[in-house]
Structures are given as structure tokens and as C-alpha cells.
Chains A and B, each alone.
Chain A
Amino acid sequence: MIDETTYAELREIAARYPQPRSGLLPMLHLVQSAQGRVTPEGIEACAEILGLTAAEVSGVATFYTMYKRRPVGDYLVGVCTNTLCAVMGGDAIFERLKDHLGVGNDETTDDGKITLEHVECNAACDYAPVVMVNWEFVDNQTPASAVELVDDLRSGVERHSTRGPRLCTWRQAERVLAGFEDGLVDEGPAAGPASLAGLTLARERGWTAPAAGAEAPKEVE
């Protein structure tokens, strides 16, 4: 059942846009947060609020990989197996986790804690191989560190993203994607070491962009 609070929040999302239908993607994120997956009731609720048919909403929900029709565990663990990460160790990490957890791609452990999947490039290639937990970065992983990560998550040990806050549950994460802040914005660093690689070097060597107004005209001009 979708409760009244969720209904109100779904309407609130639609109202952010000049045309309410633009709210559909974040609304479906909220449905996942409230219900643990995209449920038929969730689809009905979105359809009703936006004046669409359930089929129209389903058609959208099935297009996007982040929407799940089956229940997801507390932690959605995504191993990047796009080429760069795969080569750097992502394939080995994914194989090890499948063995260790006894699940295949897009399957959940019996205790309902971990859903394992392989993901495409997550814009973190400079930290390869990368594992995402509920869409937070866990950078520079090895098969051994990834096993430790999922073991900790299963046994309730608090873990932090390498470039973000302590890891929340998937349902809490989906709420943030729907547009509701969770107060964790100030946790984690501004940037990881790889993001700072060039800047660090520039600082060491005294390199800067030209000063404003002091530019020498380019030879070609």
C-alpha cells in the first residue's frame, strides 16, 4: 500500500516541473524507496497523479536499468565490468563475489542483504576497478577487499564510501534520488586522490592558468 505521505511526496515531485510528467523518473525512485521495488501500486499511483495509463508508466519504468521489478537487498553492490574496469580487475572481482555470495547477476542473497549486479562505466575509471554500493563509490577494489566489503555489510559493520558518506540502505538512497535530502552531503572528501592528481602536480611545480589580463596574444591571432 502506498501511504498518504508517499502520495503527497509524489505530488510534490510532480509539482517541481512546468509539466508534471517530467517528475516521473524521480517519482519512480520514490516508489522504490517506499516499496523496495517498482510495484503495481506504485505504477498506479504515478499514473493517477500524472493522468497517464498504467501501461504508459510501465513502458517508462522498464526502459531504465535502475528500476527494479524484483525486491532489492539492503545493499545493491554493482561491480563495473565495462572494459577499463574489467581489464583492471573488475571481472575478477565480479567472479569472486558471485562465488563468495553464491548468487548470480541481479540476484539477492538469502538473508536479503546483498543484491549483486554488474554495472556499466560509472564515470570513475580513474579509480578502476570500481564497485558501487547503493550508487556510492568504493574505489580501487581488489577481489579480497570486495569480499571484506560485502562481509561487513552483511554483518552490520558500518562502512564508508571512499569518496562519500557512510553507506545507507538502497531504499534510503532511492529517496535521495527522488529529490529529498538526507543530511549526509557534508560527509566524505571533496575529491579523491585521482581527482586531484593533476592539481597536486601543478601545485608542486607552481603551474597555474595565465593571470587575467596578463595574457600574451596567441601567435596565430
Chain B
Amino acid sequence: MGGVLTPVLTDNWDAERSWTLASYEARGGYGALRKALGMAPDDVIAAVKDSGLRGRGGAGFPTGMKWSFIPQDNPKPKYLVVNADESEPGTCKDIPLMMASPHTLVEGVIISAYAIRAERAFIYVRGEVLHVVRRLRAAVREAYAAGHLGQDIHGSGYSLELVVHAGAGAYICGEETALLDSLEGRRGQPRLRPPFPAVAGLYASPTVINNVESIASVPSIVANGPQWFASMGTEKSAGYGIFSLSGHVQRPGQYEAPLGITLRQLIDLAGGIREGHELKFWTPGGSSTPLFTAEHLDVPLDFEGVAAAGSMLGTRALQIFDDTVCVVRAVLRWTEFYKHESCGKCTPCREGTWWLVQVLARLEKGQGTAEDLDLLLDQCDNILGRSFCALGDGATSPITSSIKHFREEYLAHLTHGGCPFDPAASTLFAAEGAVR
């Protein structure tokens, strides 16, 4: 029988030297690869389809379906690119996975590349995580030495080359088409779609781009079967996922559970909200997903449940803020992030995020007027749906949702002539009196 938490991807993270090939193989690692190599590639795709796995990078697109879009009659080489750029504020699951168990990802890459018949694969990892880059490279080196990568893998006739590629600091490179431009050695700016990457991706060739956690889930599906995977989670959101709790909970961290678990359950597992405080607001899936409040504690955290409640499951980046936190300060800071990270390609986002910061900053200082709230909503309206990529859309989420839930708090800045909150009270070391 399963439990409330269902460690699969996290299950070996407490093993001695879990990042090494020896440790991974001692627990059955690369068994799924051998099984997959004995299957027809289309059967591997079918298994992933049947499992119901949906992309873990944010949008939740069915992974097996994405793979089946690769035109196998196209004579060009096929590519698999793993999106390991993890930069959406709050998201912190792929980095610990690659640090503790890079071989789970490498095994997933080989099986997935075999399924789509790619002979080259890339892991595009954000550059700002040095030790993760070390662990990935060492894992790839070990996998080559063991014959899991390279020419004629285990006598199957299938060959794969895998390169770990470090980025150089740009949130937009997590957007899949910007990532491809970046991987081609260019400025990372999104591409017009169609053509979709499945048809013309890297080097204008058929390309699958998947998130780290999506690809890392593949070995378990192949090893245990699609029904096993689908036995966890909910009808349309199958399987397990890593939920990342950060902020004002007693035990922040990674909690791997079936999709559909609630924040109430997760906070309980994490030991509750910080002593003496209450939950005020939270992000279900990173800063680009509309904020929730204590009203939403029982929303099932699956794709449908969160969408029905007006937000998005995103990356399950649950950032928890208690009653000491000023929502205006939080939203302004995220908005500054979007302004900084806007790639500049389209006007609504490039100019719009700049204006959003202007208006929010004056509100935060208590210098605006009540009409500024409507101005903000109007600006958001001009960005949402009019931007070239989802970064611009995401920038509006914290603003519109916070005005919806906390209009009074914005107005309080005006009557108070500034922020009514003490920033020291929200810090981790507030209790130790380290700041006051």
C-alpha cells in the first residue's frame, strides 16, 4: 500500500554517495534502460502515454503525446533537450534532484531519447549551480564508461551522445524556444510558433524539450508499468510529483506525493506554519501563478483542481507567507524580477513590466492614489494575452491576484503613508532578535 508521501524520485536521496553510478545501480538503477532497449521505441512512447504523465515544467502537457508529435519520416536528426534551467521564483525541485541523483535523470534521458529516436541529447542546466553541474558531468562520464551512453548501447544497435550544457544566467532561457536559441549560441529570446519544436526545434530539426522531473519520471514508468504510475494521483493528473515548500513553515523542503494532495496536508507534514503565526498567502506553482490564500487550503493540488480555483499548478513551488509579510512588498519584488528578466523582444512585456514597477513602487511608498489600483489592472490587461511569450502573462499574475485578495492592504499603504509592516518581523531570524 502506498502512503501519504510516495518517494520515488527522492527515494535514494538519503543513500550513501547517492550521486554515484555504484550507488544508483546497487538499487536497481539502469534496469529500466535495459528493459526499454528490449522494447520497440513506439512501445516506450505508448507506455509513457498510458501512464498519463504530464509535463512537470509548468504547463502539464502530456509527455507521451509530445513525443508522438516527432515526425519519424523527417530525415533530419532528432534531438532531446532537457530543460534544467529551473529559475521560476519558488521552484527548487530539479536542482536537488540533479544534485542527489543525477543518474535518475541520465537514465531517463537515454530511455526518452531512444523512444523518440534521437542520437543526440542535451541537458541545459542553469549556470548558477556549480555543484549540480559537477554532479551531472560526472554522472554522464560514468554512464559512458559503463556503456549506458555512446555507440551501440549494450549491443542494442542504438547510440546516443549526451552533453551537459551550462547556461549563463537568464530566466527567459527556461522558456523552451528561448532555450533552443540559447543552446544554439545566441541571445535567449523566444521564437515564433508554429513551427513547434517537434517539427523545427534545435538546428531546425525535430526536437523534444522536457523538464528534468518529467524525464526523471520515465525510468520508474518503464520499470513498474504505466498502471503503477497511474494508480497514484488523480484521474487527469496521474502520478507523483515533488512539492516544494518554502517560507514560513516549520520544515521547509521537498515532499514527494501523489498529485491531488492539498496544502493543508502538506503544511501539516511540514510541522505547521511558523510558531505563533497564520498563513496569509501562497503561490501554488511559482511566482507566475496567481496567489492563493487560506481560503484555498483544501484545493486539490493537481492540474484541474488548481485551475478550477483560479490559478495554475505550475511547478508545485509552494511559497508560504505568514501574516508578517506585506503582500505589496512581495508583489513589487516579483514585478522587479519580471522587469529585469524581460528579454525585450516584445513591447507589451518590455515596456509594460517597467510601468508596472513604477506604479507599484509608488503605491508601496504610500505615494500613489486609489486609482493606481485600476491603472495596474488596466496595465495588466494590456500585457496579458498580448505578450509574445508566457513571461509577460506570468508577470501579471501576482498583481491581479493580490489586488483581488488584498485590495485593502494596498489602500492601507496610502492611508499609512508607507508600508505598515515591519520587515524584520518576517525574517527567519526575527525570533533571535538578530535584526532589530
Q: Determine if chain A interacts with chain B.
A: yes
- Which A residues are within 8 Å of any B CB, using their own CB? 16-19, 21-26, 28-29, 50, 59-60, 63-67, 78, 81-84, 86-89, 91-92, 119-129, 132, 134-137, 140, 142-144, 161, 163-165, 173, 176-179, 181-182, 184-186, 188, 190-203, 205-210, 212-213, 215-218, 220-221
Q: Which 7 A-B pairs have the closest CB atoms?
A: A207-B3, A197-B253, A198-B255, A24-B185, A64-B168, A215-B231, A194-B253
Cross-chain contact B253 with A23 (CB below 8 angstroms): no
Q: Which of B2, B11, B131 has the most CB of A within 10 A?
A: B131
Cross-chain contact A87 with B325 (CB below 8 angstroms): yes
CB-defined contacts of B246 to chain A, threshold 8 Å: 84, 125-126, 128
CB-defined contacts of A193 to chain B, threshold 8 Å: 253
Cross-chain contact B232 with A176 (CB below 8 angstroms): no
Once A22-B184, A177-B127 are accepted as A-B contacts, the answer to whether A91 and B2 lie under 8 Å apart by CB is no
Cross-chain contact A83 with B334 (CB below 8 angstroms): yes
B197 at the interface (CB under 8 A from A): no
Once A18-B77, A59-B187, A92-B424 are accepted as A-B contacts, the answer to whether A185 and B138 lie under 8 Å apart by CB is yes
CB-defined contacts of A134 to chain B, threshold 8 Å: 130
Point out the residue from B14, B86, B134 that lies within 8 Å of A199, measured CB to CB: B14
Cross-chain contact A210 with B127 (CB below 8 angstroms): no
Distance in angstroms from B169 CB to nearest chain A CB is 4
Cross-chain contact B231 with A132 (CB below 8 angstroms): no
Point out the residue from B1, B7, B166, B183 that lies within 8 Å of A198, measured CB to CB: B7
Distance in angstroms from B10 CB to nearest chain A CB is 5
Cross-chain contact B252 with A126 (CB below 8 angstroms): yes
Complex formed: what's the CA distance from A196 to B225 in Å? 26
Give B126-178 interface residues, CB cut-off 8 Å to A.
Answer: 126-131, 133-135, 137-138, 141, 163-171
Cross-chain contact A28 with B428 (CB below 8 angstroms): no
Cross-chain contact B270 with A63 (CB below 8 angstroms): no
Once A92-B435, A135-B129, A213-B228 are accepted as A-B contacts, the answer to whether A60 and B185 lie under 8 Å apart by CB is yes
Point out the residue from B77, B129, B166, B243 that lies within 8 Å of A29, measured CB to CB: B166
Once A197-B253, A212-B228 are accepted as A-B contacts, the answer to whether A120 and B341 lie under 8 Å apart by CB is yes
CB-defined contacts of B310 to chain A, threshold 8 Å: none
Distance in angstroms from A58 CB to nearest chain B CB is 11
Q: Which of B8, B128, B325 has the most CB of A within 10 A?
A: B128
CB-defined contacts of B99 to chain A, threshold 8 Å: 163, 190-191, 195
CB-defined contacts of B120 to chain A, threshold 8 Å: 18
Complex formed: what's the CA distance from A135 to B232 in Å? 36
Cross-chain contact B334 with A197 (CB below 8 angstroms): no
Per-residue 0/1 for B171-214: is the Cβ within 8 Å of any A Cβ (1 yes, 0 no)? Answer: 10000000000111111100000000000000100000000000
Cross-chain contact A84 with B89 (CB below 8 angstroms): yes
Q: Which of B329, B340, B435 has the most CB of A within 10 A?
A: B435
Closest to B188 in A: A63
Q: Which of B77, B185, B227, B340 has the most CB of A within 10 A?
A: B185
Cross-chain contact A177 with B426 (CB below 8 angstroms): no
Complex formed: what's the CA distance from A207 to B165 in Å? 36
B321 at the interface (CB under 8 A from A): yes
Closest to B138 in A: A185
Complex formed: what's the CA distance from A12 to B28 in Å? 35
Cross-chain contact B186 with A88 (CB below 8 angstroms): no
Q: Knowing that A185-B138, A190-B19, A209-B3 touch, tell me 6 more A-B residue pairs with CB under 8 angstroms.
A: A84-B246, A125-B90, A143-B434, A178-B166, A205-B4, A217-B227
Distance in angstroms from B339 CB to nearest chain A CB is 12
Once A83-B89, A199-B10 are accepted as A-B contacts, the answer to whether A65 and B170 lie under 8 Å apart by CB is yes
CB-defined contacts of B77 to chain A, threshold 8 Å: 18
Distance in angstroms from B225 CB to nearest chain A CB is 7
CB-defined contacts of B231 to chain A, threshold 8 Å: 210, 215-218
B277 at the interface (CB under 8 A from A): no
Cross-chain contact A177 with B166 (CB below 8 angstroms): yes
Once A126-B245, A126-B246, A215-B231 are accepted as A-B contacts, the answer to whether A173 and B130 lie under 8 Å apart by CB is yes
CB-defined contacts of A205 to chain B, threshold 8 Å: 3-5
Per-residue 0/1 for B21-39: is the Cβ within 8 Å of any A Cβ (1 yes, 0 no)? Answer: 0000000000000000000
Cross-chain contact B7 with A209 (CB below 8 angstroms): yes
Give B225-243 interface residues, CB cut-off 8 Å to A.
Answer: 225, 227-228, 230-232, 234-235, 240, 243
Closest to A207 in B: B3
B416 at the interface (CB under 8 A from A): no
CB-defined contacts of A186 to chain B, threshold 8 Å: 17, 20
B224 at the interface (CB under 8 A from A): yes
- Could you show 24 A-B contacts with beta carbons less than 8 Å apart? A21-B186, A26-B166, A65-B169, A66-B128, A87-B427, A91-B423, A92-B423, A120-B89, A120-B337, A123-B126, A125-B252, A125-B317, A126-B92, A126-B244, A126-B246, A142-B429, A165-B131, A177-B133, A181-B134, A195-B99, A196-B14, A198-B243, A202-B5, A210-B6
Cross-chain contact B333 with A86 (CB below 8 angstroms): yes
Once A123-B86, A128-B428, A209-B7 are accepted as A-B contacts, the answer to whether A181 and B128 lie under 8 Å apart by CB is no
